[in-house]
Amino acid sequence: MNKKVMEDLQVSGKKVLVRVDFNVPIKGGIITDDNRILAAQETIKYLIKNNAKVILFSHLGKVKSEKDKTKLTMKPVAHRLSEVINQDVIFIDQTRGEKLEKAINDLNDGQVLMFENTRFEDIDNKKESSNDPELAKYWASLGDGIFINDAFGTAHRTHASNVGIASNSQISVPGYLLEKEIKFIGGIIDQPTRPLVAILGGAKISDKIGVIENLLNVADYVVIGGGMGYTFLKSQGHYVGDSLCEDDKIELAKELIEKGKGKLILPVDIVVNDQFGNDGDIKVVDIDQIPVDYMGLDMGPKTVAKFTEYINKANTVIWNGPMGVFEMSSFINGTAGVCKAIAAHKEATTIIGGGDSAAAAIQLGFASDFTHISTGGGASLEYLEGKELPGITCLTNK
């Protein structure tokens, strides 16, 4: 990694601006998943230990009107963070103004302050998400020239709270969380330890065209499951019944298979049902035996075994996207089987590229068995496509 890091900074007594990703689900004022808060604590605790005055900010949801402000305030997040770091977090319910400025200027070394949801600035001409230069300059002025970006989830966006502040700061570095994303996901694209096996799932080819194309250049094998698999199967002449299929992407699927020259691995059996639900006439069939009016909702056991063979021969595995409708208990086995196989392969570097795959690993209890679980959904996909992410590019080079 060619970026400066936190250890290159002198933070003692300095007001340090930290962009975190605390876009967590909240229902009735209660946080239902605090993983993103837990993931950021290493950076925050480092700054506290080194006597920085820590100023945190994040977006939360999509703020489209004044009415959204009540349910999308960062106040419950500040409260939960105070429990996580075992220290009071000062919360200021503003994104700008005298109250915020005074609270920041009154901070003692080692104290932590969080200000309000950055997307509150989007109600007025989308100033945050359009990287409004005046807003970016103002937010940068709240610190002492030091900016830490630890929000990988927004690193693919050019916002005032990341790129804007960085362009108005003396030095900008990744926090520990973003540093890991650069090391693991960026490292896979730049210098993979081979054999590299990429496992891709999810609903549609159209969501991951760039990822598939790039990984066919980078990986030794690209294993395809989930809903997108049926478009590939149909492109090879298989009848897929009522399974999810993008007919307008069949020619593209053919081209990708030809481009892969044996690298692209497809299912051999699937779990079908005569309805979309946990009940119905559920059965396992080979890919050339899908009954009329049935739909594929999961990978079958022979496919899981085949995918496991490729996993076991890899030195690096990256997984992005579920193998079926894992939210339904009748169709979780494909995703669970792949997850277990990756988790059991301790000799390899194993990475989950965020999104539903991360949710599945956490739900199944395997989160601690992976080398790295990305905190970014869209950012992970764009990074895997080989794109430069503006929230990383803007950081200070060594």
CB burial class (10 A; 0-12, 13-18, 19+) of residue 65? exposed
Task: Write the DSSP assignment of 346-398 as a string of letters.
Answer: TTSEEEE-SHHHHHHHHHHT-GGGSSEE-S-SHHHHHHHTTPPPHHHHTSPB-
The token pair at 216 is 């066919």
Catalytic residue among 164, 296, 355, 376: 355
Q: Say which of 3, 15, 19, 36 is annotated catalytic.
A: 36
Q: How many Cα atoms within 13 Å fall on the side-chain side of residue 274?
A: 4
Four-residue CA torsion sign, 248, 254, 259, 261:
positive
Asked whether 164 and 139 are in contact (CB, 8 A), the reply is yes
Look up 378 and say whether it is catalytic: yes
Distance CA 118, CA 12 (A): 26
Q: In what order do the strands lie in the sheet with 295-299?
A: 283-286, 269-273, 295-299
The strand order across the sheet containing 196-200 reads 264-265, 221-224, 196-200, 316-320, 349-352, 372-373
Q: Is 355 a catalytic residue?
A: yes
Judging by beta carbons within 10 Å of its beta carbon (0-12, 13-18, 19+), is residue 2 exposed, middle or buried?
A: exposed
Half-sphere exposure of 331 (CA within 13 A, CB side): 28
**Which strand (E) or helix (H) includes residue 47?**
helix 35-49
By C-alpha distance, which of 319, 312, 345 is closest to 184? 319
Q: Which of 4, 126, 204, 283 is catalytic?
A: 204
Strand partners, 196: 316
Answer yes or no: 334 catalytic.
no
Backbone angles phi, psi at 239, to 5 degrees: -80, 130
Specify whether 36 is catalytic.
yes
Distance CA(119)–CA(116), nearest Å, equals 9
Looking up tokens 């700008």, which residue turns up? 96
Instruction: Verify cis geometry, omega within 30 degrees of 0, for the bond prior to 195.
Output: yes
Query: Beta strand 295-299 with 316-320: parallel, antiparallel or unpaired?
Result: unpaired
* Residues marked as catalytic: 36, 204, 355, 378
